[in-house]
Structure 1
Amino acid sequence: MRIQFATLILAMASTTLTLPAQSLAPIHAKCVIGRGEDAGKISLHINEDSDCSADRHCGSNFSNESLNRFTGFTIADLDREGAELTAKLSAESGTLTCTGIVHANELVGDSLFTPDASFVDRMDKLGFRGFDSRKLESYTFVNVTSDYAHSLQEAHIRGVNTDNLIALRIFNVDPAYAQSFPSMGYEQPDADKLIGLKVQGVNTDEVKQIRALGFQPTLDELIQIRIFKITPEFVHRMQERGLKNLTIAKLVQIRIFKLDE
C-alpha cells in the first residue's frame, strides 16, 4: 500500500509545469475522507475532475494515512451522519482543507490547497527550484520540510533534487540510513540509489549476514538479494545440494529459473 501511495504522489509531482513562487495558485478539488485499513488511519481521496462520477476511480487516493497530522475532526466524527466538518492538513509547504458533510461514514466535500510561497523561498536558498502548486501539494501530503532537505545536503548525499525529495521522504531515507553504507565500506550511494535500496528494505543486519557467508555484494546486488529473497537459509540450502562456487548472480539465476524447486 505504501508503494502505491508513493507512485501516486510521484505521478502528481512529475506531470506539472513549473511556475515562479509569486504565481503559485491555490488548487480546488473534491475530497472524500474515510477510515483507513488500520486503527487511527484514514483514507483521503482528492479529485479535480468535475466530470468524474462517484462510481469511477478518478483523482488520487492516499490510503491508510495517519490522522495525527490532521486537525478539525476525529475518526469518531465519521459516524456523525450530517455533521459539517473541516479537516485541515498543515505543512511547511502549504495547507490543505477538506470541508464538507459526513455521509455514510465519509466526509465528502470540497478541498482547497494553499501553497506557501515562503517555503519556496527557503528552499530556493538551499538550491531547490522548479516548484509549482501541484508539487507543493505532494510535499504537503508527505511532509517534506526545508529542515529535512537541508539534513540530506549536510550528509553530502549526491543527487538530491526537487523531484526525488518526495520519494526520499516517502521511504524515510535519512542521513543515518545514507551513512550506514560508508560504515560498511561502500561508497555513499546517491539519492536515487538510496531510494532503490530503501524501497527494497536493504538494511545493515542483512548485509552483514550475507557478507558472513563470504559474499561481497555490490549495491545493485544488495537490491537483487532483497528482490529475489537470497537469504542465508537459501544459500545454505543450495550449498547442501552440492552447488559450488556460488555467486550472487548465480543465486539470482537459480531463483529466476526456479532451479531450487
Structure 2
Amino acid sequence: MYKFFALLAAICLAGIGVASSTMAANVGELGFTLSGTDRVDRVQLTLRDGRRSGMHSSSSYRPNELAGLNTDALRAGSGAIGFALVRDAGRVDCRGAAQRAGHAGGQCDFKADPRFAALLASRGIEAPDEEEALGLTLVGATSALVNAVADAGYTRVSADDLTGLAALGVTPAYIGELARGGYKPANVGDLLAFKALDISPSYVAALGRQGYGRIPASELIQLKALDITPEFIRGFREAGYPALPVATLIQAKALNVTPEFVRSLRPPQSSRLSADELIRLKVAGLMP
C-alpha cells in the first residue's frame, strides 16, 4: 500500500513524478471515512491501510460514482452506509455506518478486475500487482487510456505510468489532439510532464506560429514551466529581437529580462546590444 501512497504524493508535489517498485504487494483490509465537501455534488472518500497507520488516499467523487450510496443517510448522520467504486481496473466495496451529519466510516475490500490485467498484458504492459491495481482503480484508469497509449506507440509503460497519466487527467482525446497537431511526446515521462504543465495542442500551435514549431519536447517543457508565452516571444520580436534561440528565451525569462524591460532602456544604453549581452549585463548586476 505504501507504494501507491508514495505515487500519489509524487504526483501532487512534483506534478510529473511517479513511484515504482519491483516488489509485489497485496492490499489488506482498508478503512474508510466519507464526508461531505464544500460542493454539494462531491463527497470526499479517504481510504486507510490498516497495516500502516497514517498511510492513506483521499479523493473527491460525485455521489453517483459510489454505487449504492445513501446520500440521505450520510447527510442525516444516521443509518448504515454502503457503496462500491467500480472502475475498469477493479472495484472497492465499502460498508459501515454514518457517524454524524455528513460523516461516515467503516471498512472496504478491493478486488482487481482480471480483464483489465489481461488487457495490459495484451498491450505489452506488465500486469499490475494488487496494490498497483488499487491505484489504477482509484484514479480511474480506463481501458480506453491503455489502448490510446499503446496505439500511440509508447513502449516500456508501467502500471505506475498509467496511474500517473490517469491521475493527471490524460485522456485518449488529449493524446490524439497532440498527435494531430503534429506533436507527440517521445516517451511517457514527457507525456506526463506535458499534462502536468498543461501543454495543450493550442499552446504548441501558437508557438509554431511564432516560429517555434517542432522544437524538442525538453525545450517545450522548459518554455511552459517558465510560463513563456507566444506573447512574450512576440514582444521580443517587436522590440527588435526576432527569432531568439529557445535557450536565450529561457535565460531571459529566468532573469526577468522581459520585452518591457528592453523597451525601457534608453539609447545609448540599449544601442546594438544583443539579447545575450543584455542577459550577461543582467547577470553581472550592471542593469536594473
Q: How does 1:8-27 map to 2 (within 5 A)?
A: 14-15=20-21, 17-18=23-24, 27=28
Deviations 1:217-247 (A, max 9, x none): 3222222222111112222344455545523
TM-score by length of 1: 0.79
1:22 aligned partner: none
Of residues 239, 248, 251, the one that matches 1:250 is 248
Structure having the higher Rg:
2
Shift of the alpha carbon at 1:132? 1.5
2:267 aligned partner: none
CA RMSD of aligned residues (A): 3.1
Calculate percent identity across the aligned residue pairs: 21
1:78 aligned partner: 74
1:43 aligned partner: 44
Comparing both chains, which one has the higher relative contact order based on Cα–Cα distances under 8 Å and sequence gaps of 6 or more?
1
Of residues 165, 168, 174, the one that matches 1:168 is 165
Count of aligned positions: 248
Measure, in 2, the Cα distance between the counterparts of 1:103 and 1:79.
10
Deviations 1:63-115 (A, max 9, x none): 33333321122544432123210121112322212322222421111122122
SS in 2 for 1:139: helix
Stretch moving more, 88-97 or 117-126: 117-126
1:32 aligned partner: 33
2:57 aligned partner: 61
Deviations 1:160-198 (A, max 9, x none): 333211122223334443344444444653222212111
Look up the equivalent residue of 2:46 and give its one-letter code.
H
> Which ranges of structure 2 fall in alignment gaps of 5 or more residues?
1-7, 262-288
> Which ranges of structure 1 fall in alignment gaps of 5 or more residues?
20-24, 53-57
In the alignment, is residue 101 of structure 1 matched against residue 97 of structure 2?
yes
2:275 aligned partner: none
SS in 1 for 2:64: coil
Q: How does 1:180-191 map to 2 (within 5 A)?
A: 180-186=177-183, 189-191=186-188
Alpha-carbon distance change, 11 to 74 in structure 1, aligned in 2, over 3 angstroms: farther
In the alignment, is residue 143 of structure 1 matched against residue 140 of structure 2?
yes
1:208 aligned partner: 205
Of residues 134, 137, 158, the one that matches 2:155 is 158
Measure, in 1, the Cα distance between the counterparts of 2:201 and 2:84.
38
Q: How does 1:120-139 map to 2 (within 5 A)?
A: 120-139=117-136
Shift of the alpha carbon at 1:153? 1.8
SS in 1 for 2:95: strand
